[in-house]
Amino acid sequence: MLAQLIALPVAAYITRNHHRLIEGAAALPTAQKRRLAPYFPEAILNTVRVHQRDPLPIPHPPFTSLVRKLGLSYPDLSLTAAITFGDLIVTREPMSISLLFHELVHVVQYRQLGISAFARHYVQGLLTHRAYEKIPLEAHAFHLEARFEFDRQPFNVEAEVTRLLNP
């Protein structure tokens, strides 16, 4: 119930920041697209946009005061390297290929869930597991990011995300 209530402003926050920052955001450089082509469909690599600015040009997420009140573990915006709103990645500085990979997993999650369900999963995950890195949508992204780093065998991220979201 609480998750449902908070998911609404979170979905609005995602949509608002996407609209505000998508204009003028850059496409991925060709070298990064080529590196990630074995993992992500061309359509995603071609449509995703990156907005880079330090500090991150966004307000605190709507659950910030709740996080404090409930004693949940969630990094402050000032400690966040990058954040993804749909097909838009907002980053503080040029992303390492691993960080970009992680954010692209979120892009795939958004495509499969839609913004409303993504927000609901995210908030529900935070309230249930009480820590940022244990939110399933984050845990999945960290898991696939680690697999990208340590396993040389390319894999299909879309298929993995489908599998993880429908256990």
Bond before 55 cis per omega within 30 degrees: yes
Q: How far is the CB of 40 from Zn ion (least distance, A)?
A: 16
Q: Could you count the other beta carbons within 10 Å of the beta carbon of residue 91?
A: 20
Q: Which is nearer to Zn ion, 100 or 138 (CB)?
A: 138
Q: Which residue among 67, 90, 108, 141 contacts Zn ion (CB under 5 A)? A: 141
Q: Residue 85's closest CA among 55, 42, 127, 56?
A: 56
Instruction: Report how far residue 72's alpha carbon sits from residue 138's, in angstroms, rounded to the nearest whole number.
Output: 15
Q: Determine how β-strand 82-85 pairs with β-strand 26-27.
A: unpaired
Q: Which is nearer to Zn ion, 34 or 60 (CB)?
A: 60
Q: How far is the CB of 55 from Zn ion (least distance, A)?
A: 18
Say whether residue 100 binds Zn ion (CB under 5 A): no
Site string for Zn ion, 39-78 (x = CB under 5 A): ----------------------------------------
Q: Which is nearer to Zn ion, 7 or 138 (CB)?
A: 138
Asked if 144 and 160 touch (Cβ cutoff 8 Å), the reply is yes
Asked if 88 and 18 touch (Cβ cutoff 8 Å), the reply is yes
How long a stretch of residues is the chain?
Answer: 167
Q: How far is the CB of 39 from Zn ion (least distance, A)?
A: 16
Q: How far is the CB of 106 from Zn ion (least distance, A)?
A: 6
Q: Which residues bind Zn ion (CB under 5 A)?
A: 138, 141
